[in-house]
Structure 1
Amino acid sequence: MLRLSTNRNTIIQALVVIVICMTGPAVPSALSADSDNTVEVIGTAAVRSENVPAARRQAIADSMVASVELVAGKIVPLDARVRNFKTLNQVLYSHTDEFVQDYKVLAELKSGNRYRVLVQATVRADKIRKELERIGVVIGLKSIPRILFLIAEQNIDDLSPRCRWTSSAGDTSLSSENAMAEIMRQKGLIIIDPEALVQQGEKMPEITVPVDDRTALMLGLKLQADVVVTGSARVIRSANTMGVYNRAFRGVVTARALRTLTGAETAKTTRAVVSAGFDAAAAGREALAKAGTLAGQDLAAQIISLWKKEQSASAGLEIVVGGTRNLADFVTFRRTVSDIAGVASILVKEIKPDEAVIGIDFDGDAHMLAEAMMLETYDSFGINIYDISDNRIMLELVSE
């Protein structure tokens, strides 16, 4: 083991190493998130009661956490790490021995009441990736989908279905929707909170239950959701009883996920769970929550899979679309283009108030795609293609 003298220059050199390591691209051995990553980090611990050996062990343990976090940061986007910090702490940072293949203490010193070690560690990035995929944390995505829920829920004591977005809903705490949303949050997806939007001064439209697809999609576009989850959740009284008052209640959740910009159904599920109890409403809420949890797991897996496929598409061509303020026209345009022969996939890269950028995986070049779009009929509007380059088409949606 190499020991360096405990002087000021040693500390400065060590700090430079960790700064370089944290910047990522400057460390060639840490560029690949799919192979073993060799990283250099500093671990520190307090020296208590002059127990230097114990402080050294704690400093090394601290460096192991830093090593795993550094490599995990190359796999999971920052926003996903923030939302899943508790989960990552439980499965990664509390079990570093499962992911650190080996390590070497390059330098160590006692500075006042602190003990510091400079450690070089080899971290199994493949094991981190597999563990994150096992627990469902979103990885490998360039952007995280924003989810809007429009679930109509009816418990055993409700006269009619309730929806969070209806003014007559009263208590907007929906057991099934809350459970689905929580599961998706745990997996790193972004959930649009209507109450937060109201607090920001947004005027929310009143809708009727059940919510039709057109209303759901338009609301999703207004709130910049990538996916709208619609469906129903209801409680059915079971014939099973135990004693006079203890009865069983079956919670059934049926949900569909719609891609906002295309209207296409991207995921669906139906889940049912039975709960029993003396309090019918409480048993119903429990059944709805459990069924919602299962439904959320199903939908999250399907949505994440779709998102990865969309983002893995080559999308070699780009269309810059102006005049998208009329969202209905933009939706129609995107649907029409997606049906053109040779178009394998479409990915919306960016949306601004009156402009959008679309990535196209097309079997041909930009001129061929432009010619194909010119032959299409767009009903209430037309297109004005004003620039074509090797991999980009710029056009405007023009009202007729």
Structure 2
Amino acid sequence: MRTIPGCKTLLILALIILPVCSSVRAQPGGGEITVFAIGSSRIRGGDMAAGREEAINAGLIMAVSRALGDAIPIESLVGHFKVVNETLLNRTDRFVRDYKVLTESVTKDTYRLIVQATVSVDQLKDAAKAAGLRLGEIPYPRVLLCVAEKNLNDLAPQYWWSRRPVSDVHISSSVLSRIFSDSNFVMVQPDGAGVTADYASELSAAEAMDLGRRFDAEVVVAGSALVEHANTPLQPSAQAYRGTIRTIAYRTADGKALAKVEKSATTEAGQGIADGGELLRRAAALAGEELSSKVASAWSRQAALGTGIEIRVQGVGGNIASLVKFRGALSGTSGVDNLQLRELASDTAVMTATYQGSARTLADAAQMLNFDNFRINVVQVEDAVIVLQLLSR
């Protein structure tokens, strides 16, 4: 085995995302892995030694990038790639304990080789967390569907937040719900009886945010689904039909539009239909696939950057030891960074943290923490504020 030469900066995001040129083998200790990676370089001025050294460096960066890809969500790597490149990939000597060249070959002016590197995963994770990268999976948000539907024989749009009785059959929302659920989103099942505001079928961003907060959703998909005649100027009397769905996904916390999708499905001219159900299904299926993908991408990008959240803990009077235990456990929760105690009053502690997720997700994670002599109760969750209560067992 050899010591590690100094590494040059190489931008290899593609190697992180597509680690097809390396393989990983876990070491018995669990804190290290053995990675096999290909390194390549161009030979300049006939300098074979320099070309070989550069190929080794490229192989070691490839090995570390593969270990990073296994340890950290790709969304976090993409969102912080400048930091990843400068603090991790440019310092592979901190994480590669040793290596050896298994084989090498020269073709014209290209030097290629295969290196076997032992990478310290523990040190890599510690450095990644110190650099602000999130470890672990980013949780998917809770989604509320607010899509008003008007089928061919409906006199008016049908929607669950209406005060009027509505049909139980809502084809487009059923299709969207299935697609989002299959994509690991958590679907909110609304109760129209809980709506007191008299909102129309087409919701504004503010109205969508209000419904999202009422039903504890983090994302609201608002829109409309419609079946209508689609006669063309060339065949004005031909019976053609079009099913169209228009959707926009809002983040409940601030009303930001995460994604917007419009899709249609049509029948051939002269092809009659009994109702527009099949057109609604086809249009909703097209919209659902694209919309769920866009929402997931937008949510992950935002989550990777982190959100500042204030955490207020009540009931700490006479329970400082329990507060210390809770703070330690919360700081070790996946996605929590820079947890700071800002204020300590007689019965309330105020902390702040950066979290790769929503306030609701963090509150749920806090409530699930297990302690011997106390438990955590969630009192209230707002956009960026969590109120918790420390209760003795």
Q: TM-score, normalised by structure 1?
A: 0.44
Q: TM-score, normalised by structure 2?
A: 0.44
